[in-house]
Amino acid sequence: MKVAVSQRVDVWADRGERRDALDQRLCQWLVEAGSLPVPVPNTLCAPSMGECGEDNPALQDWLLTIKPDAVLLPGGNDLGEAPERDHTERRLLAYAKELALPALGICRGMQMMAAWAGGSLAPVSGHVRARHSLQATANGEWPDTVNSFHNFALAACPQEFVVTARAEDGTIEAMRHETLPWEGWMWHPEREPQFNAINVMRFRALLNSRSII
For 183-206, what is the mean pLDDT? 96
Sheet holding 161-166, edge to edge: 36-39, 2-5, 70-73, 103-106, 182-185, 172-177, 161-166, 135-136
**Which residues form the domain of 115?**
2-207
d(CA 56, CA 38): 21
Q: Would residue 213 count as lying in a domain? A: no
Give the SS3 label for residue 77: coil
Asked whether 70 and 78 are in contact (CB, 8 A), the reply is no
pTM: 0.91
pLDDT band at 34 (very low <50, low <70, confident <90, very high): very high
Q: Would residue 31 count as lying in a domain? A: yes
pLDDT band at 212 (very low <50, low <70, confident <90, very high): very low
Count other Cβ atoms within 10 Å, centred on residue 194: 5
Q: Would residue 127 count as lying in a domain? A: yes
For 20-36, what is the mean pLDDT? 98
Query: According to the model, what pLDDT value does residue 106 have?
Result: 98
State in Å, rounded, how far the first CA of the chain is from the last one: 22
Q: Chain centroid to CA 127: how far? A: 18
Q: Would residue 181 count as lying in a domain? A: yes
160 to 73, 80, 87, 138: CA distances (angstroms): 19, 23, 22, 16
Give me the active site residues, please. 107, 188, 190
The length of the chain is 213
For 105-111, what is the mean pLDDT? 97
* Total domains in the fold of the chain: 1
- pLDDT > 50? residue 188: yes
- pLDDT > 70? residue 66: yes
Q: What is the CATH number of the domain that holds 83?
A: 3.40.50.880
For 67-81, what is the mean pLDDT? 95
% of the chain beyond a pLDDT of 70: 91
For 119-133, what is the mean pLDDT? 80
Q: Tell me the longest C-alpha to C-alpha distance in the chain.
A: 50
